[in-house]
Amino acid sequence: MRIVAVVVLLCGVTSAVWAQTRDRWEVSGQAGVSLYNDIKATGTSPTRAANAGFFDGVAVGAIWTQNGGHHWGGEFHYLFQTNNMRLKGADSTTGQADFGAQSHSFHYDAVLYFTDREARVRPFIAGGPGLKVYQATGQERAFRPLDTIVVFSHDNQVKFMASGGGGVKVRVGRNTLLRFDFRDYVTGIPKGFVTFPGVKFGGQFHNLVGTAGLGITF
Amino acid sequence: MGRILVFLAACFALQAAPFGQTYPLLGEFSDLALDEARSVVYAANFTANRIEVFSTATKTWQTPIRIGIVPSALALAPDGRTLLILNFGSESLFQLDLSTREQRPVAIPPPAVATGVADRPRAVAFGSDGAALLITTTRVLRFDPITGVIDELLANLRPLFGDVPAPQLSGPAEIVSARMAVSQDGKTIFAVGTLNPGLYFAFRYSAPTRDFLFRCSSIVRQPVTSASIAPDGTRYMGGHVLLTETLNPVLAQPQMRVLADFTPTGVLPIQEPPAVPTAPPPNTPAPRPAAVIGGSVFSPDGKTIYASLVDTPGSNEAPLLYVLDADNLTIRQRIRLPERLTGKMISDAAGRTLYAVSEGGLTAIPVSTLSAAALIAVSADTLAFRFDACSKLPATATFDIVHTGGASVDFTLSSSMPGLGFSPTRGTTPARITVSFDPDQLFNVQGTAVGLITITSNASVNLIDPVRVLANLRDTDQRGTVFVQSGQLRDIQIDERRQRFYILDATRNRLLVFGLNDFALQREVRTGHFPLQMALAPDQKTLLVTNAQSETISRINLDTLQQDGVVYCPCSNYPRSIAVSTNATLVTTAVDRALVLQTADNKQVTVTVTEGRMNRVLLDRGEAIQPTTMGVFQNKLSARSLLTATPSGARILIAEDVAADGSVSGVAKVYDADADTFVSARAISAKALKGGAAANDTGLYSAGAVILGSSLTPLAEFQDAPNEHNSLVFFGSQMVRTMKPATGSGPGLISRVDTSTLRSIRPVKLTESPLNLLGDQPLRRTLAATNDGRTFITLSSSGFEVVPGNFDAFIPPAVIRSVTNAATFNPPVAPGSLISIFGDGLASLMTKAGVVPLPTFLADTCLTVNNRPVPLLFLSPGQINAQLPFEITGAATLVVHSPGGVSDAFQFQVPDTAPALFSSNFGDQANPPIPIIFRAFNQEPVTLSNPVRRGDVLTMFGNGFGRVTPALASGAAAPLDALLSTQITPTITIGGASATVLFSGLAPGFVGLNQLNIQVPLDAPLGFNVPLVITAGTLNFQVILPRVAAVIEP
């Protein structure tokens, strides 16, 4: 009985705060697809090459948004992605190999809105730094296709990440909104990909993620 | 409680050898009937004129039933209330009410037409219709015990003769003895008996339909004293003859010796047919007394026959119960009985106990306790000792003697083979027998000596098969690799299309299928009884196998390797030799014929002669038919003839050891497929033919030792003394033949035959002698060749022998260039390590050892190091892989003995250790070899994608880690149940960090292969190409690990 009374009291206090600082904070959940580019690994011989990358996967995450002004804000993102690692033969090299993998991304984006805070539709652009934890979870095998160029290694690694992209938020209720995001997360090569001595990667991973989400504002 | 009973039963059995118990009683028993409802056996006491009653519960004789007649046969009615008793001396039978003991005589009505023979009952059995089938001396009747009516089913005995011409009868036919047996459901009654002309008859009667199935008559080889039937009514046993559902006989072996051919003297499994007598001299002794044959019983599942077969009455042979396969009479076990069984044998419905008439009364045999009885088994049927130019030291082998129930049973071993010793010579089971053989006792006689170790036991109930001992001595001037195969091998056939070859084993009634590349046994296929010869059917998918002790030819499907039906031969025709032409498939058969001869004092003597007949196989109809003539020639030939077709199938050569009229001269005939008849016949030798027969398409034939031209004109006859011709084979236009010593032991010879001079050229000694030509099969195929002449296979005294096609090629002496560690192909080498020897002309062919312990003689090549024989793994002209004996250290001298002679000595040094790891290059040429190192984590080899991780346990396979403790014989595999550690424990570093050595020794189950188990140090440097260094003794070895990674994260 005492607990119920406390809950009722807290709800009353919270409602009073909302009334004063309406739409300053926003919490959203999101889900979508995660795509990667391939990076070419090349050895001394041009015919000895492979494309390293990830299979298409699923992304789910959460966003904590602070709306600081009419046209700006900031967002903290967490994103979990299930993209298995992949090797494909490049040029004349054939074969394909895969390895279980997943990632956890944490980043903070500065957000610039193109409309006012009260607008029903708010397109925005965003960008910022972050960290990405690559987890290679597959089973190591003695022999895989392309293992004289690149091999998989059951290792975890934290990589710095740059986030850039945009989206749109659409208010659908007094305190609810739909949001659609698109981001490009750029990282280096995780050490789950191990190149054979003499083989080098050229490029960085661009992780393109498109999500749809539902948020509440308060 | 059940276990206690089994234990008590086992104890009883152990104390009671032989198996079973005899309950003596005076008199002669003519028949038995089991009354399970009353737990009694009724025994017809023929001489005491009464029915004896034996209680199966108390195992005692009860008060007999006096009947005042001569009881010759009994039958218990299905309702269990009436016992029918036949009166031997009158035309009547008796009904005995078992409840009231009231007896009622039933008169047999006289036949409508008098035959002059008293119509007395001989056998009786009840069918499922409640009526009894009654065989009298002249008729077959049906008696209904309810109404008392007797119907006549067969008034004429003519059908009993089947399709065989009726013999010359001096009077009316008379059934002098008959026996009957009933299936479990009572629907099928099987009858077998003897007619007064000396023929036996058999028929099957269906009680529901009252139909008869008759089978032809044949000469009685043994008197028929019993009949039995499988519970489902599909197989029958009459005396020693097993009959199929269609009443085709499958003869039991007259001499039931499983290992007959194991004896050095070569005792034959079947009796040699007597020569045709012309006229018996005056005062000819009476024919041999009729043999005594006990009864037989099928097991409840119909898969086993228990039979007591004795063919030598009065001999000292122990009375035996044979346990036989019910399809082809293969002997499974021979059980000793307390006394000889002489008549009817019956079984209770559950098949637990057999009751049989025996010499002294009634013998009860509790076959359900047989598995718990004192049965002794031996782990090996053959021990083979091999001695050669490199190894003439005494050798040992072991085998185990066990009691199948795990109990302790006495045994005694004996042998008369010179040079053979064994220990212990007596003891109790279980026991491991160590057998040693001293090759000095072979007195440098090359070839294979054969001996036996006889095993006897006072307590065992079974006869124990002897262990065959083969001792072979060979030198490098002998050719051929011997493969041990037990059994009585009768024929060989190569099937190049399937890369197989086939051998027939008449001991265990099976076709043995071997691979033509590795000569390993691939499959065993059951055949009929006593398979003798085979031929590929025209469809090339079926192998036709003649079964010399039955009237059938087995059809073996070569795709499924299963018997796919049979071809039935004419009545009383037992197939022997078969050949396939493009037009006809011919098979010779043996036919027994009775001859009634008159002696000078006007006594008639009946003798049996065996003659040969030519038959034509009609595969689509599943039968063989016998033409009345062989073209213009009489269809009569030696029963021991051998048929062989030309490769194209255009002609078939018929080689007869002697002429059919009995004159001692070899005969050859030719069947021409185009003309579809026999076009030529010629006496070709003044002597009886002996050896193989062969034909080719160029018009050359071989029959025994005679080479014939296209018109069967003898062109040459081999004179091989002191050897004798064994077999000849054509391949293309060439010929190769084998010879064996005419007497005594020796290796025999193989040689080519010059096609222009028809003389043997460049004869070469074989490793062992080709198989003996047996008296019952003097013309026999023992040699086969591949079409290209690259491989010859001959049946030999140990089994078979493979001879390479270049057996007579000139081979220069071997030249040794280097002796290297097999892991690195570089010196040095260590004691007990695997070595690779490089050179020229090291061996005549490429082969590998297929057995462990490794042989020291392989493909005509052997090696010595410091005069010790070297176990061999692999041979080729340029490389030999072997194991350096553990005893070698310091300065060593290697010599290769090859077909080219003895090589120059090669000197090298042997340090205590020479460590190395085996490696393999799994990548392309740009990649370095990968050492054979496995991660215990995932049991996969260490590679770049499966890196060594700190803390990992690694298993490495290497070579040259030196001697082991406890010591192991060179050539032997490391045991699976004990670890052998190296005397010197190596030290291991990975990138300079010391690894923990968990085990250093021999890999269990392998010969000479070292295994190292280590744990990767946690401070091992990370990265690519990390060196791993093994140091053993004064030498070290380094390999590069592709990658070392950190401890795996969860």
Residue A151: closest CA among chain B residues belongs to which residue? B945
- Cα gap B94→B85, rounded to integer Å: 5
- Cα gap B248→B571, rounded to integer Å: 8
Question: Across the interface, do A147 and B1043 touch by the CB < 8 Å criterion?
Answer: no
* B926 Cα to chain A: minimum distance (Å): 10
Burial class (CB in 10 A: 0-12, 13-18, 19+), B685: buried
Query: Which of B943, B1045, B1048 lies at the smallest CB-CB distance from A142?
Result: B943
* pLDDT tens by residue, B801-834: 999 898 888 878 899 999 999 999 999 999 999 9
Query: Which of A142, A154, A194 lies at the smallest CB-CB distance from B940?
Result: A142
- DSSP assignment of B817-859 equals EEEEETTTTBS---TT-EEEEEEES--SS-EE--SSSPPSEET
Residue A157: closest CA among chain B residues belongs to which residue? B1049
CA atoms within 13 Å, Cβ hemisphere of B176: 13
Q: Which among A92, A99, A154, A155 is the top mutation candidate for probing chain B, defined by the most B β-carbons within 10 Å of its own β-carbon?
A: A154
pLDDT of B584:
95
A-B contacts (CB, under 8 Å) = 48
Is residue B4 scored above 70 in pLDDT? no
pLDDT of B880:
96
- Cα gap B865→B850, rounded to integer Å: 22
* Cβ-Cβ contacts under 8 Å for B535 (sequence gap 6 or more): B493, B543, B544, B578, B579, B580, B585, B645
The predicted model gives B589-610 an average pLDDT of 73
Which chain A residues are closer than 8 Å to B1048 by Cβ?
Answer: 154-155
Question: Across the interface, do B941 and A142 touch by the CB < 8 Å criterion?
Answer: yes
Cross-strand partners of B738: B727, B750
Which chain B residues are closer than 8 Å to A139 by Cβ?
Answer: 938
* A146 Cα to chain B: minimum distance (Å): 10
Cross-strand partners of B143: B132, B150
- Let me know: does B895 contact B917? Beta carbons within 8 Å: no
Q: Residue B331: count other Cβ atoms within 10 Å of its Cβ.
A: 20
Question: Across the interface, do B1049 and A143 touch by the CB < 8 Å criterion?
Answer: no
Among A81-95, B11-25, B896-910, name the one with the lowest average pLDDT.
Answer: B11-25
Q: Which among A44, A151, A155, A157 is the top mutation candidate for probing chain B, defined by the most B β-carbons within 10 Å of its own β-carbon?
A: A151
* pLDDT tens by residue, A111-126: 999 998 888 999 999 9
* A3 Cα to chain B: minimum distance (Å): 41
CA distance to B24, B444, B1047, per residue, from A111 (Å)? 115, 102, 41
Mean pLDDT score of chain A: 86
- Let me know: does B814 contact B840? Beta carbons within 8 Å: yes
The predicted model gives B1018-1044 an average pLDDT of 92
Q: Which among B921, B932, B944, B1043 is the top mutation candidate for probing chain A, defined by the most A β-carbons within 10 Å of its own β-carbon?
A: B944
SS3 of B872-905:
EEEECCCEEEEECCCCCCEEEEEEEEECCEECCC
Question: Across the interface, do A140 and B946 touch by the CB < 8 Å criterion?
Answer: yes
pLDDT of B221:
52
- Cα gap B800→B781, rounded to integer Å: 13
Encoded tokens for B263: 């004896």
Residue B853: cis peptide before it, omega within 30 degrees of 0: yes
pLDDT of A6:
41
CA atoms within 13 Å, Cβ hemisphere of B289: 7
pLDDT of B374:
79
CA distance to B39, B57, B83, B136, B228, per residue, from B60 (Å)? 11, 8, 21, 33, 26
Percent of chain B with pLDDT over 70: 89
ipTM of the prediction: 0.76
* pLDDT tens by residue, A122-151: 999 999 999 999 999 998 888 888 888 898
pLDDT of A111:
95
Residue B148 backbone zone (phi > 0: left; psi -120 to 50: alpha; other: beta): left
pLDDT of B195:
77
pLDDT of B197:
62
Residue A195: closest CA among chain B residues belongs to which residue? B944
Of residues B678, B790, B809, the one with CA closest to residue B729: B790
More confident residue, B253 or A205: A205
Backbone angles phi, psi at B159, to 5 degrees: -60, -25
Among A64-73, A177-186, B251-260, B680-689, name the one with the lowest average pLDDT.
Answer: B251-260
The predicted model gives B891-904 an average pLDDT of 91
More confident residue, B610 or B306: B306
Highest mean pLDDT, choosing among B1-15, B253-267, B312-326? B312-326
pLDDT of B830:
96
Question: Across the interface, do B946 and A154 touch by the CB < 8 Å criterion?
Answer: no
Backbone angles phi, psi at B603, to 5 degrees: -95, 145
- Cα gap B739→B727, rounded to integer Å: 7
- Let me know: does B47 contact B27? Beta carbons within 8 Å: yes
- Let me know: does B822 contact B855? Beta carbons within 8 Å: no
pLDDT of B262:
24
Question: Across the interface, do A148 and B924 touch by the CB < 8 Å criterion?
Answer: yes
* pLDDT tens by residue, A33-43: 999 999 999 88
Highest mean pLDDT, choosing among B115-124, B253-262, B551-560, B654-663? B551-560
- Cα gap A133→A137, rounded to integer Å: 12
pLDDT of B171:
55
Query: Which of B942, B945, B1046 lies at the smallest CB-CB distance from A152?
Result: B945
Query: Which of B943, B947, B1024 lies at the smallest CB-CB distance from A197?
Result: B1024
pLDDT of B268:
26
Query: Which of A144, A156, A197 lies at the smallest CB-CB distance from B945?
Result: A144
A→B contacts (Cβ < 8 Å), by residue, are: 139-144, 147-148, 151-156, 194, 196-197
B847-848 and B857-858 beta bridge pairing: unpaired
Is residue B629 scored above 60 in pLDDT? yes
3-state secondary structure of B661: coil
Of residues A77, A85, A76, the one with CA closest to residue A57: A85
Query: Which of B922, B945, B1046 lies at the smallest CB-CB distance from A151?
Result: B945
* B943 Cα to chain A: minimum distance (Å): 5
Which chain B residues are closer than 8 Å to A153 by Cβ?
Answer: 945, 947, 1045
Highest mean pLDDT, choosing among A111-115, B167-171, B334-338, B370-374? A111-115
Residue A198: closest CA among chain B residues belongs to which residue? B1024
Residue B930: closest CA among chain A residues belongs to which residue? A142
* Chain-centroid distance, C-alpha B857: 28
Of residues B134, B310, B332, B150, the one with CA closest to residue B222: B310
Q: Tokens 């739909």 sit at which residue?
A: A178
Residue B899: cis peptide before it, omega within 30 degrees of 0: no
pLDDT of B606:
66
The predicted model gives B711-720 an average pLDDT of 91
pLDDT of B1050:
60
The predicted model gives B586-613 an average pLDDT of 78
Which chain A residues are closer than 8 Å to B931 by Cβ?
Answer: none
The two counts, helices (H) then strands (E), for chain B are: 1, 93
Is residue A16 scored above 60 in pLDDT? no
More confident residue, B944 or B499: B499
CA distance to B277, B278, B601, B666, per residue, from B282 (Å)? 13, 13, 7, 31
Is residue A1 scored above 60 in pLDDT? no
Backbone angles phi, psi at B70, to 5 degrees: -95, 100
pLDDT of B434:
95
Of residues B657, B675, B759, B671, the one with CA closest to residue B712: B671
Is residue B986 scored above 50 in pLDDT? yes
Is residue B1028 scored above 60 in pLDDT? yes
Question: Across the interface, do A194 and B944 touch by the CB < 8 Å criterion?
Answer: yes
Encoded tokens for B773: 């030509």
3-state secondary structure of A9: helix
* Cβ-Cβ contacts under 8 Å for B47 (sequence gap 6 or more): B27, B28
Backbone angles phi, psi at B421, to 5 degrees: -135, 155
Is residue B443 scored above 50 in pLDDT? yes
Which chain A residues are closer than 8 Å to B1022 by Cβ?
Answer: none
Q: Give B691's DSSP letter.
A: B
- Let me know: does B764 contact B808? Beta carbons within 8 Å: yes
Mean pLDDT score of chain B: 86
Q: Which among A140, A147, A154, A195 is the top mutation candidate for probing chain B, defined by the most B β-carbons within 10 Å of its own β-carbon?
A: A140
Instruction: Enumerate the H helices of B545-654 as residue ranges.
Output: none
pLDDT of B162:
54
- Cα gap B98→B115, rounded to integer Å: 36
Question: Across the interface, do B1046 and A155 touch by the CB < 8 Å criterion?
Answer: yes
Is residue B165 scored above 80 in pLDDT? no
pLDDT of A171:
92
The predicted model gives B551-563 an average pLDDT of 94
* pLDDT tens by residue, B397-438: 999 999 887 788 899 999 999 999 999 999 999 999 999 999
Q: Which among B922, B925, B939, B946 is the top mutation candidate for probing chain A, defined by the most A β-carbons within 10 Å of its own β-carbon?
A: B946
Among A6-10, B100-104, B677-681, B1027-1031, name the one with the lowest average pLDDT.
Answer: A6-10
- Cα gap B584→B601, rounded to integer Å: 49
* Cβ-Cβ contacts under 8 Å for B234 (sequence gap 6 or more): B244, B245, B302
Burial class (CB in 10 A: 0-12, 13-18, 19+), B736: buried
Is residue B173 scored above 80 in pLDDT? no
Residue B359 backbone zone (phi > 0: left; psi -120 to 50: alpha; other: beta): alpha
Question: Across the interface, do B1043 and A194 touch by the CB < 8 Å criterion?
Answer: yes
pLDDT of B251:
65
Q: Which among A102, A148, A152 is the top mutation candidate for probing chain B, defined by the most B β-carbons within 10 Å of its own β-carbon?
A: A148
B→A contacts (Cβ < 8 Å), by residue, are: 922-924, 926-927, 938, 940-947, 1024-1025, 1043, 1045-1046, 1048-1049
Which helix or strand (DSSP H or E) is residue A7 part of?
helix A2-20
Is residue A3 scored above 50 in pLDDT? no
Is residue B643 scored above 90 in pLDDT? yes
Which chain A residues are closer than 8 Å to B1049 by Cβ?
Answer: 154-156
Report the C-alpha dihedral over residues B947, B948, B950, B952, rounded to 10 degrees. Answer: 120
Q: Tokens 């119909």 sit at which residue?
A: B302
* pLDDT tens by residue, B925-954: 555 677 889 999 889 999 888 999 999 999
- Cα gap A211→A201, rounded to integer Å: 29
